[in-house]
Amino acid sequence: MALPFTNSPQQRLPQGNSSFLIQESTLDDWKRIVDLSADTQRWAMAYDDFPVWKKAFGEQNAELLVAKKPDGQVIGFVSIAKFGPDIAAVGNYYVHPAYRGQGIGMQLFDKVTQTSLAEGRNLSLNAAFLLSKKYADNGFDKYPDWGLRAHVVTGANGAEIATLVHNSKIVSLKAVEFDQIATYDRSVAANVDRSEWLEAWINHPTGRCKIALDTTNHVIGYGVVREVSQNRLVFGPLYANDQGTAAALIKVILEEVDDYPSREIHFLSPSTNEEMNELTAMLSRPRGTYEHRGDDGICQFTKKVLKVDVRKVYAVADVALCFI
Ligand SMILES: CC(C)(COP(=O)(O)OP(=O)(O)OC[C@H]1O[C@@H](n2cnc3c(N)ncnc32)[C@H](O)[C@@H]1OP(=O)(O)O)[C@@H](O)C(=O)NCCC(=O)NCCS
């Protein structure tokens, strides 16, 4: 599930007749969703995410449902994406604050998961911590032994993290065979072949991607930052064999974003990755700020926990529609 990065004030729409219909989202609906969820939850998504998901998973394998009032107003949404034959990730689960507690969310959720459950897939979601127990009661009762933690940096400066960089070489996408990146991704992501998703995501229209190589030109990490609503930047994925490589990726990627010191930068990382606390603190010095939050959420599954190589995860790929 897309996680709220901060607790938001409850904005209320005028209450009215809550009759609604559920339908497939259009691109215009998606743009409203991005703005609405940024305003009320501070969710960090991009207008371009929707076309990228459709390309990444295929039209049939990525579904975004919206609940609409008869006048067309979007009041809720949820999405699902199918990875290969066995896995499906649920995300972007939201109902406008003024319409919560009336059963709209549950109807959206049941509808979007129906087919994947019938297909016998292992479903995953990134649960906001407060909802974790409810999801478990609803079948998402398999948990890893780590949670998710949001890191938010403002006033970033790459100078201090540069001291962590050792002998990794950071190169552009073009310098590496795609298969090498896909093999590395697979080694982190529980051996799931995510090639199609990967190709679309590393070429995200508002994204910048770099690859880390060792001295023998083997891939030892890759990172993507994308520009999202409210002028923010979100890293994801940031996978690396060690902290120095993660630091090198952050530094070089940010150098391609002219005004990065004036932007809020987000990472959502496994809570076991203590190195991210240090990295984001260093990134914020000498004049910026950073916020580390514990227990922001947890990735839950219906059938079994996928054994990802969590030591290499400095930021999850996409909180909405990825299991890591
Ligand atoms: C989560 C959310 C979408 C639920 O929408 P809703 O329309 O209020 O939900 P409903 O009225 O259908 O559900 C009513 C109850 O079922 C629970 N519920 C909703 N969806 C559920 C699900 N998929 N599985 C289990 N329980 C669920 C609700 O928490 C609520 O429980 P309560 O009555 O004990 O408080 C809505 O609260 C929301 O947008 N929250 C903020 C965004 C967010 O945190 N999204 C989820 C991120 S993981």
Residue 313 has which token pair? Answer: 């995860």
- Secondary structure (3-state) at 15: coil
The confidence band for 1, taking pLDDT boundaries of 50, 70 and 90, is very low
Q: Give counts: helices (H), strands (E), the chain.
A: 8, 14
Same domain, 205 and 269: yes
Distance CA 80, CA 264 (A): 28
Nearest residue (CA) to ligand 1, atom 3? 94
Nearest residue (CA) to ligand 1, atom 35? 101
Q: What is the pLDDT of residues 159-172, one digit of tens each?
A: 999 999 988 999 99
Which one, of 132, 73, 65, 114, lies nearest residue 93 by Cα? 65
Instruction: State the chain's mean pLDDT as an integer.
Output: 93
- Burial environment of residue 186 by CB neighbours within 10 A (0 to 12, 13 to 18, 19 or more): middle
Nearest residue (CA) to ligand 1, atom 4? 105
Q: Calculate how far, in angstroms, residue 40's C-alpha sits from the geometric centre of ligand 1.
A: 15
Total-model pTM: 0.94
DSSP one-letter code for 237: E
Look up tokens 């990146």; give the residue: 181
- Secondary structure (3-state) at 32: helix
Contact 219, 184 (CB under 8 A): yes
Same domain, 131 and 57: yes
CATH code of the domain containing 110:
3.40.630.30
* Residue 215: domain span: 148-296+307-315
CB of 50 closer than 6 angstroms to any ligand 1 atom: no
Residue 12 lies in a domain: no
Of the candidates 137, 170, 190, which is a domain's last residue? 137
What percentage of the chain carries pLDDT values higher than 70?
94
Q: Calculate how far, in angstroms, residue 83's C-alpha sits from the geometric centre of ligand 1.
A: 25
Q: Is the bond leading into 237 cis (omega within 30 degrees of zero)?
A: yes
Look up tokens 């959206």; give the residue: 108
Look at strands 74-83 and 219-228 and give their pairing: unpaired
* CA-to-CA separations, 311 to 5, 142, 238, in angstroms, rounded: 22, 20, 12
Q: Calculate how far, in angstroms, residue 198's C-alpha sits from the geometric centre of ligand 1.
A: 30
User: What pLDDT score does 42 carry?
Assistant: 92
User: What pLDDT score does 299 carry?
Assistant: 97
Same domain, 152 and 86: no
Q: Calculate how far, in angstroms, residue 66's C-alpha sits from the geometric centre of ligand 1.
A: 15
CB neighbourhood size of 129 (10 A): 15
Our count of domains for the chain comes to: 2
Distance CA 71, CA 20 (A): 9
CATH code of the domain containing 202:
3.40.630.90
- pLDDT exceeds 60 at position 7: no
User: What pLDDT score does 167 carry?
Assistant: 82
- Burial environment of residue 282 by CB neighbours within 10 A (0 to 12, 13 to 18, 19 or more): buried
Nearest residue (CA) to ligand 1, atom 1? 94
Q: Is the bond leading into 286 cis (omega within 30 degrees of zero)?
A: yes
Distance CA 41, CA 4 (A): 5
- pLDDT exceeds 70 at position 223: yes
Q: What is the pLDDT of residues 249-261, one digit of tens each?
A: 999 999 999 899 9
Same domain, 113 and 224: no
User: What pLDDT score does 295 carry?
Assistant: 65
Residue 178 lies in a domain: yes
- pLDDT exceeds 70 at position 139: yes
CB of 62 closer than 6 angstroms to any ligand 1 atom: no
Q: What is the pLDDT of residues 188-219, one digit of tens each?
A: 999 999 999 999 999 999 999 999 999 999 99
Of the candidates 137, 170, 205, which is a domain's last residue? 137
CB of 106 closer than 6 angstroms to any ligand 1 atom: yes
Same domain, 170 and 311: yes
Residue 301 lies in a domain: no
Distance CA 298, CA 287 (A): 32
Of the candidates 137, 168, 201, which is a domain's last residue? 137
